[in-house]
């Protein structure tokens, strides 16, 4: 893979996408002194970021490099929280997880700081509202919970205060490629040019790359999120089971996500939302009768091997990609590391395993 070739300090950077990743990217680049323009076809958090369960965690990782990156993601949010001096609302309440894809009952998690195995008695103490706690679960005390839309808006506001310019309603129809260099985007009968174009465009990323002969494998997946009317009872932690996951916003509303759905379930979203509400009601009867305020469907951007894609595209100067799931967990650290690379600090070791060039189709020929 080629070395990161940073533009000169105070260069122009064009960030495509106003979700949580684009917000953190624009914020860090503007703070570093770059001339930053951020664009989005709709507006802030219009895609997955505004319809996310928004769980900041290091639980959902299965390799050493990914654990390291996700743990750094938590640390980066703590730094961002301090910088924004109370404007960024994060509840560091932790989570209790017994989803079989995330929790191994035979693992004592001794090698995972901040994560440990807990039994029924301790689960009852950690979350008294649970009706039937499992025999065992994973407890991750370090996890944070945010409102994805609110967080993206807050960070975008901080980015504009730092000097970034936001243009909403600009649909990036394609990249401007001149030989082996990308110099911006075109769309809506206009062109926007910059020294570096950074794709934080979620599910739209592969489509922008394809006309350049670049193939980014994806396995994007749609999911449904239910928001209830506020309840008086207060959850102490986030809960993730084999059938559902539930957390509570500061205003008392519950966010209910699905751990999985059968093929075709999204063809009848009202029925799926009702089923999810039922699962949450069975899990937490102490919350009283739950009523759906709304449900949303969003497609999560997921690279083909499940791991983040962050970095420059080999053989194509002026182009940087940041596409991943979970963007909520990784947005703050991605902004920090990418900004460092694009500001002259060289390639960041923490990103070595997550470069675009690990996919053969992502090397420009």
**112: domain CATH number?**
3.30.9.10
In a domain, 58, yes or no: no
In a domain, 62, yes or no: no
pLDDT tens for each residue of 165-183 = 999 999 999 999 999 999 9
How much is the average pLDDT of 14-30?
98
Q: What is the pLDDT of residue 234?
A: 96
pLDDT-above-90 percentage for the chain: 90
CB 332 within 8 A of CB 24: yes
Domain total in the chain: 2
In a domain, 69, yes or no: no
Residues 257 and 314 in one domain: no
How much is the average pLDDT of 93-121?
93
Q: What is the pLDDT of residue 359?
A: 98
Q: Which helix (H) or strand (E) covers residue 165, if one does?
A: strand 165-168
pLDDT-above-70 percentage for the chain: 98
Q: Which of 261, 280, 300 is the last residue of a domain?
A: 300
- Alpha-carbon distance 277 to 246, whole Å? 10
Residues 106 and 227 in one domain: yes
289 Cβ contact list (under 8 Å, min separation 6)? 281
Residues 164 and 225 in one domain: no
DSSP β-bridge partners for residue 302: none
How much is the average pLDDT of 55-74?
94
pLDDT tens for each residue of 312-344 = 999 999 999 999 998 999 999 999 999 999 999
- Alpha-carbon distance 318 to 196, whole Å? 4
Residues 236 and 289 in one domain: yes
Q: Residue 221 CA to chain centroid, in angstroms?
A: 14
Measured from the Cβ of residue 290, the count of other Cβ atoms closer than 10 Å reads 19
Please tell me what DSSP assigns to residue 173.
-
How much is the average pLDDT of 349-362?
98
Residues 293 and 228 in one domain: yes
Domain that holds residue 334: 12-52+149-219+304-362
- Alpha-carbon distance 152 to 328, whole Å? 9
DSSP β-bridge partners for residue 309: 323
| Ranges 155-164, 237-246, 260-269, 286-295: which has the least confidence | 260-269
- Tell me the CATH number at 176: 3.50.50.60
In a domain, 103, yes or no: yes
Q: What is the pLDDT of residue 9?
A: 52
State the average pLDDT for the chain. 94
pLDDT tens for each residue of 216-236 = 999 999 999 999 999 999 999
How much is the average pLDDT of 77-89?
96
In a domain, 76, yes or no: no
In a domain, 3, yes or no: no
Q: Which of 300, 334, 350 is the last residue of a domain?
A: 300
190 Cβ contact list (under 8 Å, min separation 6)? 170
Question: pTM to 2 decimals?
Answer: 0.94
pLDDT band at 16 (very low <50, low <70, confident <90, very high): very high
Residues 30 and 122 in one domain: no
Residues 42 and 155 in one domain: yes
Q: What is the pLDDT of residue 4?
A: 60
Q: Which of 248, 275, 300 is the last residue of a domain?
A: 300
In a domain, 197, yes or no: yes
Residues 255 and 114 in one domain: yes
pLDDT band at 111 (very low <50, low <70, confident <90, very high): confident
pLDDT higher than threshold 90 for residue 1 = no
In a domain, 86, yes or no: no
CB 232 within 8 A of CB 240: no
Q: Scanning the structure block, which residue is given the tokens 């739209």?
A: 204
Q: What is the pLDDT of residue 5?
A: 54
Residues 133 and 226 in one domain: yes
258 Cβ contact list (under 8 Å, min separation 6)? 223, 224, 243, 244, 245, 272, 276
pLDDT band at 6 (very low <50, low <70, confident <90, very high): very low
Residues 134 and 247 in one domain: yes
Where is pLDDT greater, at 1 or 70?
Answer: 70
pLDDT higher than threshold 80 for residue 10 = no
pLDDT higher than threshold 80 for residue 262 = no
Residues 112 and 204 in one domain: no
pLDDT higher than threshold 60 for residue 8 = no
Residues 130 and 250 in one domain: yes
């Amino acid at each position: 893979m080629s070395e990161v070739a940073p533009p000169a300090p105070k260069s122009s950077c064009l960030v495509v996408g106003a979700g949580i990743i684009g917000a953190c990217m624009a914020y860090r680049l503007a703070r570093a002194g770059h001339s930053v323009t951020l664009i989005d076809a709709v507006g802030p958090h219009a895609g997955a970021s505004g319809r996310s369960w928004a769980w900041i965690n290091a639980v959902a990782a299965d390799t050493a490099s990914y654990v390291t990156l996700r743990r750094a993601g938590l640390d980066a949010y703590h730094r961002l929280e301090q910088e924004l001096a109370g404007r960024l609302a994060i509840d560091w309440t932790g989570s209790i997880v017994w989803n079989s894809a995330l929790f191994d009952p035979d693992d004592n998690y001794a090698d995972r700081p901040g994560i440990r195995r807990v039994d029924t008695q301790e689960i009852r103490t950690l979350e008294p509202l649970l009706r039937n706690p499992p025999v065992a679960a994973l407890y991750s005390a370090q996890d944070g919970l945010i409102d994805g839309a609110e967080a993206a808006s807050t960070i975008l506001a901080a980015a504009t205060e730092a000097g970034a310019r936001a243009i909403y309603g600009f649909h990036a129809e394609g990249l401007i490629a001149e030989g082996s260099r990308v110099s911006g985007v075109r769309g809506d009968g206009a062109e926007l040019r910059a020294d570096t174009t950074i794709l934080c465009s979620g599910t739209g990323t592969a489509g922008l790359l394809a006309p350049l002969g670049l193939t980014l494998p994806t396995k994007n997946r749609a999911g449904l999120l239910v928001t209830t009317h506020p309840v008086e009872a207060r959850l102490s932690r986030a809960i993730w089971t084999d059938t559902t996951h539930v957390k509570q916003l500061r205003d008392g509303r519950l966010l209910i996500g699905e751990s999985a759905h059968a093929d075709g379930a999204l063809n009848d979203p009202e029925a799926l939302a009702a089923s999810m509400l039922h699962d949450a009601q069975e899990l937490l009867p102490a919350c009283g009768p739950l009523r759906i305020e709304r449900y949303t469907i969003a497609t999560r951007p997921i690279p083909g091997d499940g791991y983040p894609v962050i970095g420059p595209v080999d053989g194509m100067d002026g182009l940087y990609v940041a596409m991943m799931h979970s963007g909520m967990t990784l947005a703050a650290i991605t902004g920090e590391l990418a900004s460092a690379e694009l500001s002259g600090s060289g390639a960041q070791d923490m990103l070595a395993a997550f470069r675009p060039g690990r996919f053969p189709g992502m090397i420009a020929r």
